[in-house]
Amino acid sequence: MSFGLSQAGIQMLGGVDNAVDCKLTYESNVPGAKYIRHDITRLSAPELGRRLNLRKNDPDLIFSGCSPCQFWSKIRTDKTKSLQTAFLLRQFQRFIKYFRPGFVVVENVPGLFRRKDNGILVAFLDFLTSHGYNFKDGIINANNFGVPQNRMRYLLIASRVSTVAPLPVDPGERALNVADFIGVPNGFPEIGPGHRDETRFQHSTAALSEKNVRRIMVTPASGGDRAAWANDPELQINAYRGRDKIFRDVYGRMSWDKPAPTITTRFISLSNGRFGHPQEDRAISVREGAALQTFPKDYEFHSPNLNGLARQIGNAVPPALAKRIGEHLIAVRNG
């Protein structure tokens, strides 16, 4: 989000996160912005103001909250760990109340919006209204905003100094597909599973077991799925025997002529979604995932391992979407 907003011409002051390995990535790509590594539940508003030299009631100040979204996601995972970060919107509210910024942006998974019975979002929207903010919110598809993914997100834009309009969709813009971003014509040489690229390009891939190599080799190119080996007793997975219609994306290949699925923190893993390369016999690489998230090829990621890199990329707001949001904020502010 910080990088995309900066690309729109917005001066970024800083960001708060408790991840250790994000500091170098953040500060390498968002010049002048400070990375504050802190548990936000233990960070006071005055301390944040001191570190970033913030003023109260600044009409041009933007607060953007993109808290961890795993708890509200449809993905069927153990929610115990993510419960710790499920209600950070309340912490975000604390800083808004203290500083009263001109603008507020929230980006999250659609589940936060659809599960209104939890009361968290309802209370936050009531808070905004009671403190003089008008807002527009709803579910958007990032594919309508320059991102080659079917990535459904909840987006809220609020202001107390300008009248907010929904993020506009360009009706003449062509939806982007996988082939627009990865593949040999786009500068991605053919590689295999377990490839290590020690350059800053980071075209590295996770290794595959011998059986998974065989599975993807018989999966048809550009959109094939595990139905291709469902009747092979050696390749079929016990959990899916007789249940071939569930989780069809798992072990599948992306299609060249369609948007990618949502890039998650596990996109380098063939068994965690439709993350197979459309043609080559492997899951997509770190840099291919970054490209599908619309990070430029010279964006520097720093982490000691592939999983850390994938987590940073999958958790990110696609910069192209963030840039559109930033341009919209500028237009709203200028009337």
Give catalytic residue positions: 69
- Cα(259)–Cα(180) distance, rounded to whole angstroms? 9
Q: Are 263 and 149 in contact (CB under 8 A)?
A: yes
* Nearest-angstrom CA–CA distance, 155 and 213: 39
Residue 269's alpha-carbon distances to 98, 198, 206, in angstroms, are: 42, 20, 7
Question: Rounded to an integer, what distance in angstroms lies between the CA atom of residue 221 and that of residue 208?
Answer: 18
Say how many C-beta atoms besides its own lie within 10 A of residue 125's C-beta. Answer: 17
Closest of 5, 33, 31 to residue 319, by C-alpha: 5
3-class DSSP assignment, residue 270: helix
Mark 269-303 as b/e (b = at least 16 C-beta within 10 Å). Answer: bbbbbbbbbbebbbbbbbbbbbbbbbbeeebebbb
Dihedral, CA of residue 167, residue 69, residue 48 and residue 100, to nearest 10: 40
SS3 state at 226 = helix
Please tell me the distance from the alpha carbon of residue 97 to that of residue 165, in angstroms, as a whole number: 22
Beta bridge partners, 248, equal none
For 37, the enclosing helix (H) or strand (E) is: strand 34-37
b/e per residue 14-51 (b: at least 16 CB within 10 A): bbbbeeebbbebbbebbeebbbbeeebeebeeeebeee
